[in-house]
Amino acid sequence: MDWPAQAGAVDDVLRALDDRLRERRAVRRRAMAAVLAVVFLAGGAARFAWSSSHESVTTPAEVAAAPATVSAPERQVLPDGSIVELRPGARISVLFTDTLRRVVLEEGEAHFQVEKNAARPFVVAAQGVEFWAVGTAFNVQLDSRSVELVVTEGRVAIDRGNATVPPTALAPAIATGVASGGEDMRLTTVDAGQRVVVEAAAEKAGADLLAEAMPPDALAARMAWRVPRLELSGTPLAEAIRLINQHSKIQLSLGDPSLASVRLSGILRADNVDTLLSLLAESHGIRAEKRSESEIVLRKNR
């Protein structure tokens, strides 16, 4: 510490230290913002922030300047009409023939909604494992250690390359639900609401696969990545409702036109109507009037 004084560089060192301190404060602020963003994105009632600007005057220009955006997985329609939803970062390659519909999951996670065609099975390959289906829906997640299958509809057969009966021959049985895994075929069949993890390690490659039943809540949470999210930034309630109604079975409407300009900010699952109603009541004094199982009218509290 004696050197700056002896060299006449005290002012330069102090300026450099001050710059460094400012830089570190900025880094800490950015880190804190990132942490808050992670918490904010996690979902749930306590994680949805609302603005209180509904007390201010809203002009048409202000409404136009605060659009909402919808964040959703990439959706691809395959040549046979089957639908694939890709989680960010996922990659697939598609090879269809007259007798087989084949998709390779090269990276990440994807959900498949398969068009029925018993004469032309649908197979998803991932890390040496093949998942066979005829008309069903299932989710496949690939990482460096394992491949996970979650069946959301119908039935899927798993082939690890050691089946004595070709899965193509089992397609009608898989479709009707009479196929079952056994020593004679070395296939594992998985039904809707079940989950299987196939370990990639060589010593576990021949281990028996056990299907694990998933409670409905756990299954819904596991598939939550497929649900579109609304990103609101000072967005008028009327616009938020319009977007929610596009993705929810429950339809919302405004019983009081003055509520249209209530401003909302935050990120919300498009199907999370209960959270929206709870926070509208707590933060804005707006009550929900249920007209039917699928219709709710929003009104001001009297």
pLDDT tens per residue across span 45-101: 333 444 333 333 333 444 444 567 888 999 999 999 999 999 999 999 999 999 999
- CATH number reported for the structural domain that contains residue 99 in this entry: 2.60.120.1440
| This prediction's pTM | 0.66
Picking from 239, 261, 253, 262, the residue whose alpha carbon sits closest to that of residue 297 is 253
* pLDDT at residue 199, as a whole number: 86
- Domain boundary, last residue among 204, 224, 244: 224
Task: Say if residue 150 is in the same domain as residue 242.
Answer: no
In one letter, which amino acid is 177? G
The one-letter code for the residue type at 147 is: V
In angstroms, rounded to a whole number, what is the distance separating the alpha carbons of residues 198 and 98?
Answer: 29
Q: How much is the pLDDT for 160?
A: 78
Question: Are residues 149 and 291 both part of a single domain?
Answer: no
Same domain, 82 and 204: yes
End position of a domain, from candidates 196, 224, 252: 224
Write the burial class of residue 188 (CB in 10 Å: 0-12 exposed, 13-18 middle, 19+ buried).
buried
What does each C-alpha distance from 208 to 26, 182, 190, 288 come to in angstroms? 53, 10, 13, 51
* Overall number of domains in the chain: 3
H-state helical runs in the chain:
2-7, 10-41, 60-64, 167-176, 216-222, 237-247, 273-284
pLDDT of residue 200: 72
The neighbour count for residue 140, using CB atoms within 10 Å, is 24
What is residue 221's three-state secondary structure?
helix
Sequence letter at residue 291: R
Report the C-alpha gap between 59 and 64 in whole angstroms: 9
Output phi, psi for 262, to 5 deg: -60, 130
Q: What is the mean pLDDT of each run of 10 residues along the chain (302 residues)?
A: 46 60 58 43 40 37 59 94 96 95 97 94 93 93 93 92 52 48 60 91 63 94 92 91 90 94 89 90 93 94 79
CATH number at residue 260: 3.55.50.30
What is the pLDDT at residue 51? Answer: 39
Residue 66 pLDDT: 56
Phi/psi at 271 (5° precision): -100, 5
Report the amino acid identity of residue 67.
P
249 exposure class (CB count in 10 Å sphere: 0-12, 13-18, 19+): exposed
- Do both 66 and 85 map to the same domain? no
Question: For residue range 179-201, what is the model confidence (pLDDT) as tens digits?
Answer: 444 443 456 889 999 999 998 76
Are 130 and 186 found together in one domain? yes
Query: How does strand 295-300 pair with strand 251-254?
Result: parallel
Residues 32 and 53 in one domain: no
Q: What is the pLDDT of residue 209?
A: 83
Residues 79 and 220 reside in one and the same domain: yes
Looking at 168, 190, 224, which one is the last position of a domain?
A: 224
Instruction: Supply the range of the domain harboring residue 11.
Output: 2-38
